[in-house]
Structure 1
Amino acid sequence: PHISAVAYLTAPLLAAKLATRPCMHVCLEKRIGVCKAKTPARLARAIRFVAISDTHTRHRFLQLPHGADVLVHCGDFTMPEVYPAAHHEALRQLCDFFAHAARTCGFRCCIFVPGNHDKFVLGLGPRVVQEHLDKHVPCEARLLVDAGIWLRARGSECGGVALWGSPMSRANSKSSPNDAFQTSYEKEHEVPQGVLDIPREGKLDILVTHGPPASSDARGCKSLDAVLDNHEIPQPRIHVFGHTHEGAGEVKARSSGRCIAVNATSIDLSFCASQPPILFDVPFGERDEAPHQLEVVSF
């Protein structure tokens, strides 16, 4: 279905529901808006996530729900062709956005998986980007470039939610200059070395990529489908992505396995921030209550 209001996904039920508000209006003020619509009750023993993508500098016009734990940005934070001279400005805006979201909406963790427009991550280097996030964002903030994290209660050695982030997407065209982290047409069936190298042991609750799999979108990556159909690695409950603006808000259940695919793109084809954020809960543990203090651990 095409979601025209706040989308709410519960991982165990693999269901999509609408909030009481018929649509999410664009906030015309140049700041982060707090969604005033009533959001569904949180699942017991769960971590609440909000996913957005492809904001293309329109992040100030988003209305984000209050009270969620984790904000996930699936890439394309910047506009087309951000030149090297603007790389530091793009990073400053990302830090400001996450900092404001943490202070205004109460997020305890912010995650950024870059997209094909986010060349500033390559230009400055992941280490520099992470250092700025650590310094300027008042909550946990992570850049994920083919890496995984556990979100769990501070001091706990078990339980929690496992998330893997990869910036891969299929090239828009052979001539597009916005090709950061992309897979070429000629190699779309192959997974590049070091990409989506998910550990075979353990579990995976959430997969975040910039681009969709081909099974969810004709412009998606066939190599992503190969990963999702590989039962030798943990299969995610939810796969969240962006990249294709036409599919914004689409929620699809994969024919194989338990995974559902969600396009969290935030802007429409006119580059207006008219699409709602995606809201979903993932159970934290069978016996644990929702953590009061989140700890982010790499894996």
Structure 2
Amino acid sequence: MPTNSINFLHISDTHSQHRQLTQLPDADILIHSGDFTMNGSEQEAIDFMNWFCDLPYPHKIFICGNHDACLYGSKIDGLDKNVHYLCNSGVVIDGVKFYGVPMFMEDCISDRQSRNYAAVPTNTDVLITHCPPYGILDFDDELNYGSTELLARIKEIKPRLHLFGHIHKQHGVKEDGPTIFSNGSIMNEDYTNFNLPNLIEI
């Protein structure tokens, strides 16, 4: 990791309400951890990407969530050079190693998602997933919805930062050992109001 501090603005689960986010704070890197659509349509995805690309941040990263089904198996062309779509892939920005794992239901109902988590590089500094790790900002309706396999992988690689969403009720930031965990869900649990984005400095 670089010696200079970096400000990360983390959002997730905007569900096609992204254009209502008109006063986002400044940051070095903006990250969206999935569910930018509501119904998974191509039109919703295009509108989000147009909005995301136009935002005035030096670097921007996004991944897909379980709602963003139209992008399953897709390759996205034409993004600005400072905008990165991560799909079981990584990028290095200013010496920081990012890696993103989406949450497509086609993978979750097979063993592919387990393989995706196992493939996260051990030198990852910032891990971006849509699913939470088990037991960390993942509790809703008396259940933990996070992944035990993801938690095990995080304990192995010890990223500095793990960004996710999915469980709207558990929006927040938690530090546990060497890792800062951020649930960036913007829409609240009943989709009637907005949570504040998470601004994290490391």
Equivalent residue, structure 1, for 2:51: 97
Q: Secondary structure of 1:65's match? A: coil
The answer on 1:268 being equivalent to 2:194 is no
Equivalent residue, structure 1, for 2:102: 167
Q: Secondary structure of 2:10's match? A: strand
Could you tell me the percent identity over the aligned residues? 34
Q: Aligned pairs, how many?
A: 195
Distance change >3 Å, CA 181–CA 166, structure 1 → 2: farther
Distance change >3 Å, CA 198–CA 133, structure 1 → 2: same
Q: Which amino acid aligns with 1:148?
A: G
Q: Which amino acid aligns with 2:174?
A: K
Distance change >3 Å, CA 182–CA 220, structure 1 → 2: farther
8 Å CA contact retained: 1:151, 1:161: yes
8 Å CA contact retained: 2:133, 2:146: yes
Cα deviation, residue 181, structure 1? 5.4
Q: In 2, distance between residues paired with 1:143 and 1:181? A: 19
Q: In 2, distance between residues paired with 1:141 and 1:262? A: 21
8 Å CA contact retained: 1:115, 1:181: no
Runs of 4+ in 1 over 3 A off after TM superposition: 179-182
Equivalent residue, structure 2, for 1:229: 155
**TM-score with structure 1 setting the length:** 0.59
Give per-residue Cα distances to partners, 1:232-258, cap 9 Å, x unaligned.
xx3111111000111112x2233xx41
Give per-residue Cα distances to partners, 1:129-156, cap 9 Å, x unaligned.
2x1324xxxx51111011111111xxxx
Q: Structure 2: which 5+ runs fail to align?
A: 139-143
Give per-residue Cα distances to partners, 1:261-295, cap 9 Å, x unaligned.
1111001123135201111123xxxxxxxxxxxxx
Q: Structure 1: which 5+ runs fail to align?
A: 1-10, 12-43, 153-159, 169-178, 283-299
Q: In 2, distance between residues paired with 1:273 and 1:266? A: 8
Greater gyration radius: 1
Equivalent residue, structure 1, for 2:133: 213
Distance change >3 Å, CA 96–CA 220, structure 1 → 2: same
Give per-residue Cα distances to partners, 1:22-51, cap 9 Å, x unaligned.
xxxxxxxxxxxxxxxxxxxxxx82222111
Equivalent residue, structure 2, for 1:147: 89
- RMSD, matched Cα: 2.5
